Amino acid sequence: MSEFRGAYQFSTTEGSIKKTLEKFKDQILRKQDEKIATTSRKELDIFLTKTETTSKMIRNIIVELKRPSINLGKNELDQIKEYMRIVLDEPSCNGNKMQWTFYLIGCKYNQIVEDEIESHKSSGDERDGLVHIMKGGSAKLYVQKWTDIINVNQKSKYSFLQEKLKIELEKLDNYSSQEVTEEIIGSK
């Protein structure tokens, strides 16, 4: 782990926040001499980190996933906000070149979450689902539905693939079925 050029998953549900932050501090930040103060045994679902090679900015993502039967509301918001507070209270996690993005993801949310999202729309953030900002904007919390992630965020990728397939189909229209078969068999 000498260079960190891509995204690296640090934790799944196998480690407490304390253990995860110790690993992050030791392996990514290389601050073995610092101590992690939290004693929290709560677990993070997903923790990803990436260090940009040019700016040396460390971008961190923490994701809390909820099962489809849970309607995201105050309890779930409070849970991820508590995780935010635990992480951001650690001195090792507050460098000038460090950004934190937290996501709470589920199938649906209630009016409380909807009101939080609505109240943050004027923040100037271009992403949907913003519900909380801390540390002068270096830490943000978003709530998103799986349908938003799959249907909206991935739509451009799907559109690209559909367009590419359409072009390939149009090319095939110029050939007879015999020519297409010979092309496939001949290329093996």
Provide CB contacts within 8 A for 12, sequence distance 6+.
45, 46
**Regions of the chain with pLDDT less than 50:** 1-5, 188
CA atoms within 13 A of residue 173's CA, in its CB half-sphere: 6
Residue among 95, 87, 75 at smallest CA distance from 143: 75
Q: What is the pLDDT of residue 26?
A: 83
Q: What is the pLDDT of residue 176?
A: 67
d(CA 132, CA 84): 10
Residue among 49, 31, 10, 43 at smallest CA distance from 92: 31
SS3 126: coil
CA atoms within 13 A of residue 43's CA, in its CB half-sphere: 7
Per-residue pLDDT of 23-57, as tens digits, reads 888 888 888 888 888 888 888 888 888 888 888 89
Q: What is the pLDDT of residue 167?
A: 66
